[in-house]
């Protein structure tokens, strides 16, 4: 618009200049110096055009003022634990007044509704929920100008629908806009440190014991006491993770396979099972010595007294005397796992011990779920994760490619899915993109936007196939479909005037649906309409396209189609649904039957999330569905809100089950109970590495006192889940996934004798100590070599009265580092160090703190660090409030009895 106005002015100016006397003199001069008067006019016009374009690009006065607000408005967002009260303090730190009239502040709030908790005499404002996690604070226009003077502070009191427990409840990259202006990021909210979010405890008197337990946070002294009795090992106590069924090793008789004269001889076709990192040459002839001989054959393994006949089984016999390694397996996958075991026992020089191994997995499904919809992660992150999965014999990647916040796979024939559904930016019309969510900001850049092209996806398929990992794509439906619905609405608008039939072909919503609802994630238009035939045309097009993408790469055996969290109220006022006369639950069953029949048509199995129905009588037996015989499996995530375990019920009803228990296997939850740890916490306040390791699959949801499930043969396996609402970088992604994923690999492959016996707690603890020590002494260095930013635990520590510091770590084998100069320099801690003014370890008599952290062997990783007061043993992690200026406004503090977080 600005450019059009400038061109109009340009025409007027040029005409006026040509008619003026001065212009004619200029033109005569230009004729003498140029080829012609026409050329002179052209040159003059071009110069004026450039000037007009430059002028049009200059920011307006309103835009300049908005930019000033973005730079100078300081935001402090106060999170109050055990309280639904929250406060937003806005301070003008600039030297000029801020006119906030009609300014809109967009910010994000995690999975909860909020509203203004008080009225303000000075600056009028309104709070609106936009959609999902996005909220808008509008400074309204009234009889007086909305001005925030220099250094003036405005405190906005808010009330939330549920209490807050973590800093990561707040997302970064807030932004402001006003009519006619380009949105601008608020500078103080940019980035992942979230320093603008301030965290406080509230007085906890009068609360329940359960709530008090949830409020408790990990302390250095408690960590020290928990760790101090852990058995320490000098060498890794486990040869291999996951633990083989049978393994006997003799390190006194090593065999070196890096002497450049070893070969591999494999039965026909089994060479496909060799890892890509295998550097030994293949040979047709068996030389007798210095050979890895790979044979195809059955391997029978006994697991807990039960014979296992698995295609993934293998046998290894390493003879140092014969200089020969024999590998037997019925499949290329078994050969691949055998080679992973051999590599795991090999040292840096290429020596492996004399070995006898007999092994097979307990479960055929050993998986992890990765959500790339909430936030998008580049192809290399997925490939690196696949590499780590294959090393630990995991074989299923559940690839969550669509949800409300984004559609992440290019689908031929439906370009709108990625043109709008894969982009998030500030566009209230939703023509160019979806609105921002989860800290993605106003521009269509970063992890809020992005998708995998067909070639990207096929590269991922190939990479996984070479590592014997099945890719299971998920397209969530009928709920969690905001991105797909908006994309098909854009397609409708594009074609409706030209070809109404084409416009309606893939439509997912009923224009005559006045239903009112809100999803768990606060979306109000995110459910496909099951009563429209076009919905199933869309679904079949997507399924057929994905099948075609998989052909020749990693054939599509199974697809996940969601099926959970349909909000109450959906479809109630849809005219097409009302004509069917079916209840909401009947419509859900109809939808499930139709989409499963579509998958059966293409001979593809289907997986669904467990339904909202939470009682035995409400879950329909599998045989009562009008569906074909293709396999239908259920991811069981429910933690027993109904007082029973859903896994037990579903197994009785004939379903194949993949255990995905949220309180053990949801890796979007924090790893310790701490407000600084990233993650959600609805299923459990924390899910630690030890907690995952001690998961007992055959007990279903009855983990404390085991109740064995019936029909355990219908348990396909275990799957961890990584949802990414609070994860916005590759490092955060790896931090939340590793090393917990190694514990999932252990439990899904190896069945320990203590899993079904409540009396064997000592054996459980012994296994945990061996596992933790093997991670610290060996396996985490392997993750370093893959470039994976895994989490290191916080140190445990305690001061004695004489100033002697004792410190330890949950995972043995790492250096504990300390600093006494506020993090400027770090040194290795040694047991029994004394800290007082005469000890020589303290640089200043005024310093009362020692800072502690864990460092990896490779020096590439370090834990978060804590500060410990050596007079009081009080601990404080660095990001928590220490500065008086960061406390809430005094009146609010006095009224609410705030106490700064300390440990």
Place of tokens 């990584």: 722
Backbone angles phi, psi at 429, to 5 degrees: -80, -15
412 inside domain: yes
Q: Are residues 491 and 606 in the same domain?
A: yes
DSSP-H helix ranges across 653-699: 662-665, 689-693
Between 897 and 483, residue with greater pLDDT: 483
- Percent above pLDDT 70 for the chain: 82
Q: Is a pLDDT exceeding 90 seen at residue 31?
A: no
The whole-angstrom distance between residue 550's C-alpha and the CA centroid of its chain comes to 25
Q: Are residues 100 and 176 in the same domain?
A: yes
Between 269 and 812, residue with greater pLDDT: 269
Could you give the CA distance from residue 459 to residue 592 in angstroms, rounded to a whole number? 31
Q: Is a pLDDT exceeding 90 seen at residue 715?
A: yes
Query: What confidence score (pLDDT) does residue 4 get?
Result: 43
Q: Is a pLDDT exceeding 70 seen at residue 761?
A: yes
Contact 880, 199 (CB under 8 A): yes
Strands (E) located in 761-888? 796-799, 805-808, 815-819, 827-828, 849-855, 866-869, 875-877
Across the range 619-633, mean pLDDT stands at 71
854 inside domain: yes
The answer to which of 25-29, 651-655, 759-763, 765-769 has the lowest mean pLDDT is 25-29
343 inside domain: yes
Could you give the CA distance from residue 529 to residue 299 in angstroms, rounded to a whole number? 50
The number of folded domains in the chain is 4
791 inside domain: no
Contact 660, 721 (CB under 8 A): yes
Q: Are residues 449 and 577 in the same domain?
A: yes
Q: Are residues 573 and 660 in the same domain?
A: yes
778 inside domain: no
Between 153 and 110, residue with greater pLDDT: 153
Q: Is a pLDDT exceeding 70 seen at residue 409?
A: yes
583 Rama sector, left if φ>0, alpha if ψ -120 to 50, beta otherwise: beta
Query: What confidence score (pLDDT) does residue 54 get?
Result: 53
Query: What is the number of alpha carbons within 13 Å of residue 721 lying toward its C-beta?
Result: 23
> For residue 824, what is the domain's CATH number?
2.60.40.10
Between 677 and 402, residue with greater pLDDT: 402
Q: Is a pLDDT exceeding 50 seen at residue 18?
A: no
Query: What confidence score (pLDDT) does residue 391 get?
Result: 97
Q: Is a pLDDT exceeding 50 seen at residue 612?
A: no
> For residue 287, what is the domain's CATH number?
3.30.379.10
Tokens of 349: 């020089």
Cα angle, residue 55 at apex, residues 51 and 61 outer, rounded to 5°: 165
Q: Are residues 656 and 551 in the same domain?
A: yes
Q: What value does the mean pLDDT of the chain take?
A: 85
Of 236, 466, 265, 241, nearest in space to 343 by CA: 241
Query: Helix (H) and strand (E) counts for the chain?
Result: 23, 37
Four-residue CA torsion sign, 827, 828, 829, 830: negative
Q: Are residues 350 and 373 in the same domain?
A: no
Q: Are residues 180 and 262 in the same domain?
A: no
Query: What confidence score (pLDDT) does residue 451 get?
Result: 98
Q: Is a pLDDT exceeding 90 seen at residue 117?
A: no
Across the range 482-511, mean pLDDT stands at 97
> For residue 369, what is the domain's CATH number?
3.20.20.80
Angle (deg, nearest 10), helices 379-391 and 740-749: 40
Across the range 552-556, mean pLDDT stands at 93
The per-residue pLDDT for range 841-881, each reduced to its tens digit, is 554 445 578 889 998 877 778 888 888 876 666 655 433 33
895 inside domain: no
Three-state DSSP class for residue 99: strand
Q: Is a pLDDT exceeding 50 seen at residue 173?
A: yes
Q: Are residues 389 and 352 in the same domain?
A: no
Could you give the CA distance from residue 408 to residue 421 in angstroms, rounded to a whole number? 8
The whole-angstrom distance between residue 90's C-alpha and the CA centroid of its chain comes to 31
Q: Is a pLDDT exceeding 80 seen at residue 736?
A: yes
Q: Are residues 253 and 281 in the same domain?
A: yes
Between 521 and 2, residue with greater pLDDT: 521
Tokens of 862: 């370090």
User: Which of 758, 785, 808 marks a domain boundary?
Assistant: 758
Across the range 218-239, mean pLDDT stands at 88
Q: Are residues 473 and 573 in the same domain?
A: yes
- SS percent in the chain: helix, strand, coil, step 5: 30, 25, 45
Best mean pLDDT range from 113-117, 156-160, 216-220, 440-444: 440-444
507 inside domain: yes
124 inside domain: yes
Could you give the CA distance from residue 49 to residue 5 in angstroms, rounded to a whole number? 12
Q: Is a pLDDT exceeding 80 seen at residue 29?
A: no
Determine how many CB atoms are found less than 10 A away from the CB of residue 129: 16
Across the range 99-112, mean pLDDT stands at 90
The per-residue pLDDT for range 33-83, each reduced to its tens digit, is 444 556 666 776 676 666 555 555 678 999 999 999 999 999 999 887 667
Between 575 and 87, residue with greater pLDDT: 575
Query: What confidence score (pLDDT) does residue 423 get?
Result: 98
Tokens of 491: 């397609």
User: Which of 712, 736, 758 marks a domain boundary?
Assistant: 758
Q: Are residues 745 and 851 in the same domain?
A: no
> For residue 159, what is the domain's CATH number?
2.60.40.290
Q: Are residues 413 and 520 in the same domain?
A: yes
User: Which of 333, 359, 385 marks a domain boundary?
Assistant: 359
Q: Is a pLDDT exceeding 70 seen at residue 318?
A: yes
| Residues annotated as part of the active site | 565
When pLDDT is cut at 50, 70 and 90, the band that residue 217 belongs to is confident
Best mean pLDDT range from 156-170, 620-634, 842-856: 156-170
Query: What confidence score (pLDDT) does residue 179 get?
Result: 93
Between 703 and 793, residue with greater pLDDT: 793
Place of tokens 């001005």: 147
Domain residue limits at 811: 796-878
Query: What confidence score (pLDDT) does residue 206 get?
Result: 47
Query: What confidence score (pLDDT) does residue 209 get?
Result: 55
């Amino acid at each position: 618009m600005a450019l059009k106005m400038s061109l109009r002015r340009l025409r007027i100016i040029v005409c006026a200049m040509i008619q003026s006397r001065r212009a004619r003199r200029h033109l005569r001069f230009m004729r003498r110096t140029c080829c012609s008067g026409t050329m002179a006019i052209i040159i003059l016009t071009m110069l004026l055009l450039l000037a007009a374009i430059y002028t049009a690009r200059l920011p307006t006065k309103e835009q300049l003022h908005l930019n000033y607000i973005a730079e100078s408005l300081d935001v402090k967002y106060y999170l109050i634990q055990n309280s639904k009260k929250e406060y937003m303090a806005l301070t003008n730190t600039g030297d000029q007044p801020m006119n906030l009239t009609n300014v809109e502040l967009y910010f994000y709030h995690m999975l909860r509704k909020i509203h203004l908790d008080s009225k303000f005499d000075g600056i009028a404002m309104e709070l609106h929920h936009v959609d999902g996690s996005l909220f808008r604070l509008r400074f309204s226009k009234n009889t007086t100008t909305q001005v925030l003077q220099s250094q003036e502070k405005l405190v906005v009191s808010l009330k939330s629908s549920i209490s807050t427990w973590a800093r990561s409840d707040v997302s970064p990259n807030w932004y402001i806009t006003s009519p006619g202006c380009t949105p601008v990021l608020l500078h103080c909210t940019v980035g992942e440190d979230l320093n603008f979010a301030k965290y406080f405890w509230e007085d906890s008197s009068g609360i329940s014991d359960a709530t008090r337990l949830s409020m408790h946070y990990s302390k250095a002294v408690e960590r020290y006491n928990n760790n101090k009795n852990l058995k320490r090992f000098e060498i890794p106590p486990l040869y291999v993770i996951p633990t083989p069924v049978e393994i006997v090793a003799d390190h006194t008789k090593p065999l070196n396979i890096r002497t450049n004269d070893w070969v591999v001889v494999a039965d026909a076709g089994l060479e496909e099972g060799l890892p890509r990192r295998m550097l030994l040459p293949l040979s047709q002839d068996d030389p007798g010595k210095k050979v890895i001989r790979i044979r195809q054959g059955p391997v029978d393994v006994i697991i807990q007294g039960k014979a296992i006949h698995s295609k993934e089984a293998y046998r290894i016999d390493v003879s140092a005397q014969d200089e020969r390694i024999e590998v037997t397996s019925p499949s290329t996958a078994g050969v691949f796992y055998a080679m992973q075991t051999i590599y795991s026992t090999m040292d840096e020089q290429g020596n492996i011990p004399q070995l006898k191994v007999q092994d097979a997995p307990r479960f055929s499904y050993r998986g992890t779920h990765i959500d790339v919809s909430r936030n998008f992660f580049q192809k290399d992150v997925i490939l690196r994760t696949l590499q780590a999965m294959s090393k630990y014999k995991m074989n299923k990647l559940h690839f969550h490619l669509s949800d409300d916040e984004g559609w992440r796979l290019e689908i031929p024939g439906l370009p709108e899915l990625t043109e709008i559904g894969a982009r998030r930016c500030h566009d209230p019309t939703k023509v160019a993109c979806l609105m921002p969510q989860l800290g993605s900001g106003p521009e269509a850049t970063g992890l809020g936007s992005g998708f995998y092209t067909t070639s990207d996806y096929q590269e991922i398929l190939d990479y996984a196939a070479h590592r014997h990992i099945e890719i299971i794509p998920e397209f969530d439906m009928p709920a969690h479909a905001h991105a797909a619905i908006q994309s098909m609405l854009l397609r409708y608008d594009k074609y409706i005037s030209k070809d109404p039939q084409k416009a309606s072909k893939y439509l997912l919503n009923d224009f005559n649906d006045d239903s009112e609802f809100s999803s768990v994630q606060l979306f109000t238009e995110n459910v496909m309409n099951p009563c429209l035939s076009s919905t199933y045309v869309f679904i079949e097009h997507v399924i057929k396209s994905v099948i075609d993408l998989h052909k020749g790469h990693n054939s599509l055996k199974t697809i996940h189609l969601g099926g959970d969290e349909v909000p109450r109220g959906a479809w109630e006022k849809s005219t097409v649904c009302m004509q069917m006369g079916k209840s909401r639950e009947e419509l859900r069953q109809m939808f499930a039957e139709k989409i499963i029949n579509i998958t059966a048509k293409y001979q593809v199995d289907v997986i669904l999330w467990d339904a909202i129905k939470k009682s035995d009588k409400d879950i329909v037996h599998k045989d009562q569905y009008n569906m074909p015989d293709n396999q239908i499996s259920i991811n069981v995530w429910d933690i027993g809100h109904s007082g029973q375990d859903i896994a037990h019920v579903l197994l009785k009803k004939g379903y194949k089950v993949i255990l995905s228990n949220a309180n053990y296997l949801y890796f979007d939850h924090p790893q310790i109970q701490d407000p600084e740890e990233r993650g959600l916490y609805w299923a459990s306040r924390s899910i630690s590495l030890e907690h995952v390791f001690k998961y007992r699959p055959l007990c279903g949801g009855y983990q404390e006192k085991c109740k064995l499930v019936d029909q355990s043969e219908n348990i396909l396996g275990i799957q961890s889940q990584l949802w990414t609402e609070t994860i916005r970088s590759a490092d955060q992604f790896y931090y939340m996934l590793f090393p917990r994923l190694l514990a999932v690999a252990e439990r899904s492959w190896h069945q320990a004798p203590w899993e079904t016996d409540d009396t064997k707690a000592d054996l459980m603890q012994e296994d945990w100590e061996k596992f933790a020590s093997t991670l610290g002494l060996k396996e985490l260095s392997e993750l370093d070599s893959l470039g994976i930013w895994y989490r290191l635990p916080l140190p445990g520590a305690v001061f004695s009265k004489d100033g002697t510091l004792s410190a330890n770590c949950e995972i043995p084998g790492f250096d504990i580092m300390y600093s006494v100069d506020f993090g400027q320099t770090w040194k290795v801690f040694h047991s029994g160090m004394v800290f007082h003014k005469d000890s020589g370890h303290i640089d200043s008599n005024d310093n009362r703190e020692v800072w502690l952290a864990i460092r990896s062997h490779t020096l590439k990783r370090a834990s978060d660090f804590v500060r410990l007061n050596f007079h009081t043993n009080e601990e404080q992690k660095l990001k928590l409030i220490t500065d008086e200026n960061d406390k809430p406004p005094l009146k609010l503090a006095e009224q609410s009895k705030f106490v700064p977080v300390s440990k």
